[in-house]
Amino acid sequence: MNERGSSVPTVTECSMPGAQEDGYMLVKSKDAETPSSRLKAAKVDSRPWVDQEVQDDTELEQREDEGDDWVDRSEEQDIPHVPYSAMRYPEETMVERSKEFYRLLNQRRTVRLISPEPVPREVIDNVILTAGTAPSGAHTEPWTFVVVSDPEMKHQIRQIVEEEEEVNYRQRMGDKWVKDLAKLRTNWIKDYLDVAPYLILIFKQTYGILPNNKKKTHYYNEISVSIASGILLAALQNVGLVTVTSTPLNCGPQLRLLLKRPANEKLLMLLPVGYPAPDATVPELERKPLEDIVVHI
């Protein structure tokens, strides 16, 4: 049993399209039907208009744990609503700005060879502030950005990640996974975890903890933190820094403990951040054209 009372997870090949990282998922060895799955089924039946792929399961997942320790939202105070005004540009300016922003973000690449050159701390603070402007379910802001610059701590993170990634590449994930990734020429050796001046570990808070120790539901927390992460990537690109959007499989719990993060936080991604190394290369990938990604109705 882990801290949340879950059973030990095991890796299972998953044939559901898009289900989990790389087509595999970590599943908990528990009975097929649990009180939560029964509750979920009942809820889903009573809300047939909700697409099961995108419905917010946040509260359903938490029902097992329901009790006096959850805050009642109606206890929250009303807040004033204030006028809002946005910048309004002439249409030509809008077109130009939209092109300019696309040009900037189209240059973003995942760069796995990062320079050790120092980066001002203020820049990192500002990109994180920018990420924190993301929308979030019920404005719960369910994110924690852990910034690691201490060389010893970076090295300990590297050791955890390399140990797990070696198992992923050698046995856990199997041939298809390794073949699908081959074009990226990645392996379990992660020099960037020592070399990059900063590692930003992005945690999703699966629920909140109020000063009175009551728990607060964090609706759509994974989607909210993923949006914030995307904004962070754009903010890094805006200042000429690079990163690797990395999801080190099976490292979350160990890294959480190493970084002394509480049990309500789960690692979403790990971003090494810095300038690109002068000899960095990237795979020559192509992006889908507009007609392949848009449908106008």
Ligand X SMILES: NC(=O)C1=CN([C@@H]2O[C@H](COP(=O)(O)OP(=O)(O)OC[C@H]3O[C@@H](n4cnc5c(N)ncnc54)[C@H](OP(=O)(O)O)[C@@H]3O)[C@@H](O)[C@H]2O)C=CC1
Ligand Y SMILES: N[C@@H](Cc1ccc(O)c(Br)c1)C(=O)O
Ligand Z SMILES: Cc1cc2nc3c(=O)[nH]c(=O)nc-3n(C[C@H](O)[C@H](O)[C@H](O)COP(=O)(O)O)c2cc1C
Closest residue to ligand X, Cβ-based? 252
The β-bridge partners of 270 are: 201, 246
Sign of CA dihedral 66, 67, 69, 71: positive
20 near ligand X, rule: CB under 6 A: yes
> Among 244, 255, 271, 273, which residue sits at the site for ligand Z (rule: CB under 6 A)?
244
Residue 211 class from Cβ within 10 Å (0-12 exposed, 13-18 middle, 19+ buried)?
Answer: exposed
List the structure tokens of 276: 């690109």
Please say which residue, 1 or 285, places its beta carbon nearer to ligand Z. 285
The answer to whether 215 and 71 have CB atoms below 8 angstroms apart is yes
What DSSP state is assigned to residue 183? G
Site for ligand Y in 18-37 (CB under 6 A): 21-22
Residue 141's binding partner among ligand Z, ligand Y, ligand X, none (Cβ under 5 to 8 angstroms by kind) is none
- Cα–Cα nearest to 235, from 202, 186, 195, 266: 202
Only segment of 43-51, 133-141, 203-211, 242-250 that touches ligand Z (CB under 6 A): 242-250
Number of residues counted as binding ligand Z (CB under 6 A): 11
DSSP code, position 209: E
165 binds ligand Y (CB under 6 A): yes
Return the bridge partners of 49, or none. none
Pair of tokens at residue 143? 């994110």
Site track for ligand Z across 260-289, x = CB under 6 A: ----------------------x--x----
Q: Which residues bind ligand X (CB under 6 A)?
A: 2-4, 6, 9, 20-21, 25-26, 247-253, 256, 263, 265-269
